[in-house]
Structures are given as structure tokens and as C-alpha cells.
Amino acid sequence: MSSIQTIIVSGGTHGNELTGIKLLEKWSKHPELYTNRCPTAHVELVHTNIAASRLCRRYADQDLNRSFSETLLSFVGDPENYEMRRAKELNAKFGPKGPKTRTDLILDVHNTEAKMGFCLIISAHDPFTMRASAELVHEFPDTHIYYQPEERSMSPYFGTLAKADICLEVGPQSHGTIHADLFEQAERIVIRYLELAQEWNRGLLQQKKKKSVDVYTQYKDIDYPRDEAGEINAMIHPYWQDRDYSALNPGDPLFRTFDGESLPYKGTRKVWPIFINEAAYYEKKIAMSLTLKTREEW
Amino acid sequence: MSSIQTIIVSGGTHGNELTGIKLLEKWSKHPELYTNRCPTAHVELVHTNIAASRLCRRYADQDLNRSFSETLLSFVGDPENYEMRRAKELNAKFGPKGPKTRTDLILDVHNTEAKMGFCLIISAHDPFTMRASAELVHEFPDTHIYYQPEERSMSPYFGTLAKADICLEVGPQSHGTIHADLFEQAERIVIRYLELAQEWNRGLLQQKKKKSVDVYTQYKDIDYPRDEAGEINAMIHPYWQDRDYSALNPGDPLFRTFDGESLPYKGTRKVWPIFINEAAYYEKKIAMSLTLKTREEW
């Protein structure tokens, strides 16, 4: 992106993830907290999934953050399905999805129950989101870059309505709760993204020396072991609970059956798991996402 | 109780608390794991809230574990309300609630997202549950006794269908997930309760020397600070996240507003909070339960 004209700060895309919801509540009462951070852009606050937030559930009818592929957006669908309707509304107002979108940047705030600290999820090799995220990793503790490359038109995530996006995952925090220390650092990170967008628009961020960062790139998701009926029959091995971003080698114990037997990781290469034991992913059949770690100059 | 003839081991009273549900699944496939632990009693496994478990939610229509007061059980109520119907079914099968109940002991397995370890909740000064729980505190790490005295006929908890009960709270574990280390110790604790019931029936437990234990007795529940609209406007102070059972003194910082201001505990006596920041209690307007800690010979 040459210049960032329009920015959305969003939260509540999952209605039980309170960090973003509470950040929007706070900022909408006190716009001075964010409006002066990036005066060269129009910054808008968007509470994406209002119905699910009222229920304090991830979603009402279907996962809103899996509803933004071009296919789904162009599908007539069930008018009774809240998220399908809401995705179309958001697309009409802030898209349309694709190169003609009126939104340059989306910062979408999420929570996870996995011990992932502050995970900056990058969906494309966009120069601003890469440079800004690399700065943030050096400025804030417990902050990590997860690169999850997306074919943008097919991607189901809200952020992909914009030309570029960051999904900020904050955890560990049980859904439906709010933790003060995570809230406060998440707010500072979002503010810094806005300030860095301002630096970008003034051509300053581009002149800074690139930063060396660890990048965790999506490799593949793996499910829990399951029985014939589809019920999980093993748990995350106790070693792996709260060990997101650690190295997992072929043959290492990874799951534990209910009888206490350890099951090894059957992959053939070293990987770095994240989103370990996230409640919302049981129904998606994801026990964790495996990533590959590289050191890069961003 | 002079002798324990009938025992229920139950789980899934809240449908997203997986430790109990998975324990029942395991034991129902391998009855030899529990049937020989207390041969002098009939032990039955009861999956209490089946509909909510299918949804992986706390409840379908209302909290089942708030549905067992005599008033509610005798109330005609809405036949469309699953938990109201289910409470009556369970009462007809395993009660009836009161002195003529056919169940002597209920061990109901729950989870909490608070860092409470293994919390043995005692609802009455019943000699068996007191003696057995005191033994367990000495046998297992991270195990605590919480005495929550209940007027039994008015108490809404499933356990109060029986003459005596233990509610085993296991945490921290995000609802909808399962942690292997917590599962394994929870299973050992339930097994030990069955073995101690056997010792009780043979008159052996009664002869053991009483044990000195910390008892956390319910004092009162407190809510989050809220604004006029009823929305919470302060979070648990970061110091207090994951500090269940620690001492809270009058004037200590207890909450933190979204603007970063610390709010003190306004009570007038020293207390020991538990159930700190439990997601399921936001709707019940409980930020934590305050207890009083005493050293007792049980």
C-alpha cells in the first residue's frame, strides 16, 4: 500500500471475545484516545458481531469470521442466518471485497484460550503490515508474528475485506472473561499500529532499518485423535498445554489417551505448534496449528 | 450417615465442563475401573445434562445446577424447558429430594476457569464428606476444602438430591476443553472418594486420627463494578487473576477500570477470594466468592 486512507479497528467478531469488545466500548466513549493517532487516515470502530456479543457466544448461527469468502458473500443464502446477513452488510459498507474495497486496513482484535500472548496474524506479504508488526515485536513483550498466507478472494476472514489486515490474537483468556493485563497491552498494540500507519503515510516507517524477527508460518492444522463415533479419545499431552511456539520434533509425545498412554507426533519434520487446545477449534477439528519458524528481515 | 449404600458419580451437569463428561465416558466403557472401589455400595454413573453436553454449552434453557430447590422441583413450569424437565426426571429417579431420598452420596464433577486446583465443595457438616475430604487434602497436591453451607431443601444444586454430596471443582480449564493433568488427578480423587466410602462402611475411616485442614467457608459473593446500563466497567486487578485462596485485606487493590485506575476492596475484614473471574458467573453477577479461612480438625 502506498498510503493508508481508511482504517477499521474491529472487535466482537466472535461475540465471547471481550478484549476487542471492551476496547471498542472504551474508545467509542472517548474518541480522543484513538482519533489523533493517525490523523492522515479515517479511523472507524466496528463492532462486527453484535448479535453474538449479546449472547456472549462465538456466533449466533455460523462463525462470522468464516463468512467472508467471495463465494459466501455472493451466495443468496438463508435470510434467517444472522452472520450471513451481517457479512453482506459489512461487505456492502466497508468492502466490496476485492481490489475496489474502500477499506485499506483492518485491525481485528480476537482472543484465544491458548497461551499465545499477543499474536500478530498476517494474511499476506503486505509491506506495511510486515514492517509495522516487526516493529511491534521489538517494542512489546510476548508478541509473535504468525504468517497465515491466504488466497484473498477465497479467505473467509473479516480482515480480508480490506486491502491489508492484522488479526490480533490475545491470550490466554477464557472466552466470556476479560483480563486486565491483556486488555491494557492489547490497547497499546492497537494504538501503536495506528501510530505506525501515520509513520507509514509520512514515509518514515519505510526509512527505518528492517528488523530481524521470528516468523511462524502456517504449515498445517491437526485434529485430536478420535474414535469411530468422532469423539476425541486423547487429550493434549500435559507437556504441550501452554507451550505454544515451542519446537515439536517427530516422535515427541503430543497427545495422551484417557488411559494415560502417550501418543507421539507422527509428522516427519520439526514444527512449532500454536492455538494449542483452543475451545473454539474443537468443533473445527483442530487440536493445534503447526507452523514453521524462520528468522526473517521484515 | 451410618452407612453409604448408594453413590452417584455424575458429570456434565454443565454441558461444557469436559472433565466429568470424559470420566463418565471412560468408566462406562470400563466399569472395572470403579465398581470394585466400594463393593459395599451400589455406584451409578449419571450424565446429568445430556442436551447441554451435545451443544457444548453450560445449559440449554437454564442452569441445571440451579434447578434442584424443592420449590423449583414442585413447580409445574414450562414443559419446553429442558433443564426443568431433566431436574424433575433426576429427582424422580434418584431422589426424591429430602430425608427419603434413595441416594446417599453424590460426587458431582465440575470445571472452573479460575485457578482453583481441586476444590472439594462441602454443602453440609456431614461426617463422611468432612473426614474423606480432609484425607484427600493430605493425599493430593493443590486440593482445597470449600464449605458452602446450604439449607438443603432450598439448595438448587444437583448434589443436594442426596443425603450428602461433594462437588469437585477442577481448574483452571477453559470450558469446552480438557486438560490431561487435571483429568488424571480428578479421576484419582473420585476413585479415592469411593475407596474412602468403602473404608467408612467398614468403620475404618471413623477410627483414623482427625486431620488438620484449612477450610474456606463461604462469606459472600461480590460483583464486578458496573455502569448504569449494567455493563461491567472494571476488571479483576491483574494481581488477583489466578490468585484464588490468597488473603485479601481491606483497602487492597481488587479491580481495575478500563482507564487503568485501581479500585480497592471495600470490605471491612480479611477474606480469601475464590472463583475469581469465572466466565459462567458474569451472568450471575459474581466476580468472585469471598471466603473465610480457618484451621480445623476434620
Among residues B27, B26, B28, B23, which one has the least CA distance to residue B13?
A: B23
The verdict on a CB contact (< 8 Å) between B258 and A183 is yes
Domain B219-291 has CATH 3.80.10.10: no
**Angle at A147 (CA atoms; ends A142, A152), nearest 5 degrees:** 140
pLDDT of residue A78: 83
State the average pLDDT for chain B: 97
Residue of A177, A180, A256 with shortest CB distance to B238: A180
Check pLDDT > 80 for residue B29.
yes
Model confidence band, residue B281 (pLDDT cutoffs 50, 70, 90): very high
Contacts of B22 in chain A (CB under 8 A): 258
Instruction: Work out how many CB contacts closer than 8 A connect A with B.
Output: 82
CA distance A212 to chain B (A): 32
pLDDT of residue B64: 97
pLDDT of residue A48: 98
Residue of A16, A178, A258 with shortest CB distance to B235: A178
- Of the ranges A174-183, B13-22, B68-77, which one carries the lowest mean pLDDT score? B68-77
Q: A99-132 b/e with 16+ CB inside 10 Å = b?
A: eebebbbbbbbbbbbbbbbbbbbbbbebebbbbb
Contacts of B56 in chain A (CB under 8 A): 282-283
Q: Are B108 and B158 in contact (CB under 8 A)?
A: yes
Beta bridge partners of A178: none
pLDDT tens for B117-167 read 999 999 999 999 999 999 999 999 999 999 999 899 999 999 999 999 999
Q: What are phi and psi of B234, to 5 degrees?
A: -155, 155
Domain ranges of chain B: 6-208, 219-291
Percent of chain B clearing pLDDT 90 (strictly above): 97
The verdict on a CB contact (< 8 Å) between A179 and B259 is no
Question: ipTM score here?
Answer: 0.94
**Which mean pLDDT values do the consecutive 10-residue runs of chain A (298 residues) have?**
93 98 97 96 98 96 96 87 96 96 98 98 96 98 96 95 98 98 98 98 97 98 95 96 98 98 97 98 97 98
Same CATH topology for B6-208 and B219-291: the answer is no
pLDDT of residue A77: 77
Q: Which of A177, A181, A281 would you mutate first to test chain B, the one with the most B CBs within 10 A?
A: A177
pLDDT of residue A79: 80
pLDDT tens for B154-205 read 999 999 999 999 999 999 999 999 999 999 999 999 999 999 999 999 999 9
Cell of B96: 426424591
Q: How far is CA A79 from the centre of its chain?
A: 27
Give the CATH architecture of domain B6-208.
3-Layer(aba) Sandwich (3.40)
Q: Are A12 and A47 in contact (CB under 8 A)?
A: yes
CA distance B82 to chain A (A): 19
Residue of B56, B179, B237 with shortest CB distance to A180: B237
Cell of A152: 484473498
Contacts of A28 in chain B (CB under 8 A): none
Domain A219-297 has CATH 2.20.25.160: yes
Q: What residue spans of chain B are helical by DSSP H?
A: 18-29, 32-35, 50-55, 70-74, 82-94, 127-139, 180-201
Q: Which of B231, B235, B241 would you mutate first to test chain A, the one with the most A CBs within 10 A?
A: B235
- DSSP assignment of B196-227 equals HHHHHHTT-GGGSPP-EEEEEEEEEEEPPPB-
- Minimum CA–CA partner of B259 in chain A: A26
pLDDT of residue A38: 97
The verdict on a CB contact (< 8 Å) between A177 and B258 is no
Q: Are B110 and B17 in contact (CB under 8 A)?
A: yes
Burial of A93 (0-12, 13-18, 19+ CB in 10 A): middle
pLDDT of residue B79: 80
The verdict on a CB contact (< 8 Å) between B282 and A177 is yes
Check pLDDT > 80 for residue B72.
yes
User: Cα(A114)–Cα(B177) distance, rounded to whole angstroms?
Assistant: 11
CA distance A3 to chain B (A): 32
Beta bridge partners of A272: A291
The verdict on a CB contact (< 8 Å) between A174 and B175 is yes
Beta bridge partners of B295: B214
pTM for the complete prediction?
0.96
pLDDT of residue B38: 97
Rg (CA), chain A: 19
Provide the 8-state DSSP code for A25. H
- Minimum CA–CA partner of A171 in chain B: B174
pLDDT of residue B59: 97
pLDDT of residue B77: 77
